[in-house]
Structure formats: C-alpha cells, structure tokens
Copies of this chain bind each other. A is one copy, B any other.
Amino acid sequence: MTENTLFPPSNNIISENDRVMILIPSGGLRTVQMKLGGIINLGKFGQFLVDNIIGYPYGQSFEILEDKKVQPIKSLSFGLEERDSSNTEDSTKESTPVPEAFISSLTNKDLVDKGSDIQKLTVEEIEKLKTEGGGNDIAKQIIEKMIQSHGAFDKKTIFSQEKYLTRKQKKFSRRFTVLKISPYNMLSYLYQEKEPARVLDMSEETLGLLLSHADVRPGGNYLLMDETGGLIVYALMERMQGQGTITLLHENDQPKLNLLDQVGFTEEQIESIVHPVNLLQFLYPEEERAKNYKPSDEGIEGFPENKKALHFKRLRKYHLLNDTLDLVEKNNFDGFISVCTLNPTTLLPKVLPRIGGSRSIVVYSQFKEILVGLNDAMMKDKNVLMCNIYESKVRKYQTIPGRLHPLMTSRAGGGFIFWGLRVFPKEGIIAVGRGM
C-alpha cells in the first residue's frame, strides 16, 4: 500500500537498463533491455548499438546506418503513406525512393501472373544480401535488385508498383521505432509471437473493456485471478501506479508472475501492491492463518548478515499473508476480475461473499459458450445484478487517404467478458419490478 512507487519504465526518455519494445517495419514487436554497450540484433532488419538511441523520447523512429549507427527519422511509414502526406519533401527523403527510370503501365492488362517465376533474383542472392551488415542502404540495394530482375515490373500500373514497393520496404527496410513497454503492447507482443494461448486469446480491446467494466482506478482494492503469467496484474498495476491493492487469487503453490520480471518490475515493487493468496488460503483463511509461520526474533542481534536477511524475508512473508487474509476476511473487495480457465459457474459462488456491495464482477473467457452458462446461473442467483455478456472488436483501417478501407484480414477471437454487480438481495421478496 506504498504510495508513489514509480513503476517501470520510470520516465519518458529511453534510458539505461530500461526494457523497451522495438517495432519493426513488418509490424513485428520485440522486447529488449537497454544495456550500455550492448548491440541489438534485429536479424534481417539490421543491428544497432544501444548507446546510440539512449536519450531520445519513447516513440522515436530510427533508420539503421553503417557501423550500427542510427539516424532519427520521423516515422516508420513508407511509399503509399508518404505519398499522400502533405510534407512530401521531408518524407520522400526518408523513404526508399521509387526508381524513376522504370516504366509503368496504365493498367495491369498485360501483366501475366506467374508467381515466383517472375522473380529472376534467386533466393540465395537475396539471402546473401540480407545477411550483409550495414544500414538501410542494403535494403535499398535489395529492392532495386528485385525490381531490376522482376520480369514484368514495367507492366504494372503506378499503383501496383507502389504497392509492390511498400510491401518490399516493409519486408526489408532497416528501420525501427522504440516504444515504451506497456500492458497494451505486451499483449500485442504475446499474441503476435504466436502465444495467443498464453494470454487466453485475449485482445487488446477486450483488456480495455475489462479494466473499465471492473472500474479499476488508483486506490481500489481488487480481487484478481490471472492465468496469463501476470499480464492482468501488470495492467492493474499500471493503472493504479502504486495506489491500492491487488489480492491475487491463484490455484498453485506460488503465483505465476514471470511476465512482471520480463517488463522490469523488482520484487519490492510487486510486493508493495500484489498480495498473493491461494485457493485454500482464500476459502479457509482461519485455518491457513493458524498455519502461518511467524519466525521468532529471539537472538536476532547475534545472527550473521545472511541469516538476518532470511529472517526479515520470512517475517515480511508472514506479515504479507496476514495482511492478505485480513483483506480477504473483510469481505469488501472493490471488485472481482477473473482471467482464468476454472469453471466460472462453480467458482463465482465461492468468491461472491468476499466482494463488496455494488462492486463489479468481471469474468473473462475465450469462449462465449462458457459465459452463457455462467450468465444463466447468475440470473437465477439473486446476488449478481445486471448480468450480461459483452464483446468488443476493433476494426483497423488501411489509413491512406485515397485508399481508405478496413484491413482485409484481422485476428479472429479476442474473447468475451461477463459483467455483473454484486448486490445484497433481501430474503423472500416477490419478483416484481425486476425487469429481466
């Protein structure tokens, strides 16, 4: 319950030891730590020295030059996007230019589609170019080589040529943006890195919906189940910035919070707000409190340093669990958030007595069918009011004036949430007036 704890990253400038998110032209994300003297290798997108990007604000984009140097650039955009920008003088300087010597066709009428036949440049040749060191010049070389060896580039329309170039630039350009790490982009990262199962298939917009429906704010005391390795804990911590408590209910011997290390939290920062409690402790707090071992401080002065440290650590653990059990037994949590795969229909009745009046119950599931069962049960259980199932889906556009349209494909799924309010019904009321 410490106030004013600064959570990572603690400032708005790329700083030594920060964990940062790197966005590459293909849309891919990576997390890396800013170790002075370190070299960040982006594979075919090049390499750069950490020292060269320290001191820039988060959000800055760079182009890789020779010798692992970088040059700040305005943004990652290419070709089509820049063409439509009003300050074209600036942006064409930054983009890989369309070679002017190439002829284009008015329509694609004479273009024969033969797929890979048309690319005379061999895979080996491209691979060789890609592995060569150096900066964005290499990308320009690759793309120019590809155009030269493209049998029918001049048969394409200008539009098709631009589209082709943008695609190649996204594939080869040695540029990147440094983003401040956040739950939002960590979720994107986890999803993209083919681990949707790790985040139970949750989308960014569903996370946002969940946080709003749960009324998460600085100073609240929430009960949370988080099966994502800490992403939801992270999202709450970011919103709360050290004000309030998160009682983390879990089903294992220890809570799994590996993601929090990954984004740079220290154990102390975590302990200052997160109170872990397992199902046994949560359901039988008195029995488990009795088992809570309080280390004796007899003869503590005479202990060697390491033994003293161990003693204080054990004492801290003892107090943390006691404090947590106090929170549990108060039966007044400011909300319950569940992002886990236990059957919510049997779980929720066990949790409800611990939640404060008029506070939110928010249960996430990858599958609507599971929440239909829960909603049905809760409509009968009079302790939860205004039960419904909600979904939020974002639809992104190709935002190029003159070529505006929704993206042709997007990720499916993203999950659903159940939202209801904990209430205290009177006994023996005739069901008149409840507009169900």
Contact = CB atoms under 8 A, between A and B. Distances in A.
Contacts of A369: 369, 372
Interface in A331-377: 369, 372
Interface string A372-386: 100000000000000
A35 to B, nearest CB: 46
Name A's interface SS.
helix
A369 B369 CA distance: 7
A372 B372 CA distance: 13
A369 B389 CA distance: 15
Contacts of A372: 369
A228 B372 CA distance: 27
Interface string A4-41: 00000000000000000000000000000000000000
A398 to B, nearest CB: 17
Nearest to A367: B372
A369 B372 CA distance: 9
Nearest to A372: B369
A416 to B, nearest CB: 13
A366 to B, nearest CB: 14
A68 to B, nearest CB: 46
Interface string A152-193: 000000000000000000000000000000000000000000
A372 B373 CA distance: 14
A372 B369 CA distance: 9
A255 B416 CA distance: 41
A413 to B, nearest CB: 15
A401 to B, nearest CB: 15
A372 B370 CA distance: 13
A303 to B, nearest CB: 63
A381 to B, nearest CB: 21
A391 to B, nearest CB: 13
Interface in A394-432: none
Interface in A231-275: none
A135 B372 CA distance: 53
A249 to B, nearest CB: 30
A351 B213 CA distance: 47
A111 to B, nearest CB: 31
A369 B367 CA distance: 11
A277 to B, nearest CB: 35
Interface of A: 369, 372
2 contacts: A369-B369, A369-B372
Task: Sort A-B residue pairs by CB-CB distance and give the 2 closest, nearest first.
Answer: A369-B369, A369-B372
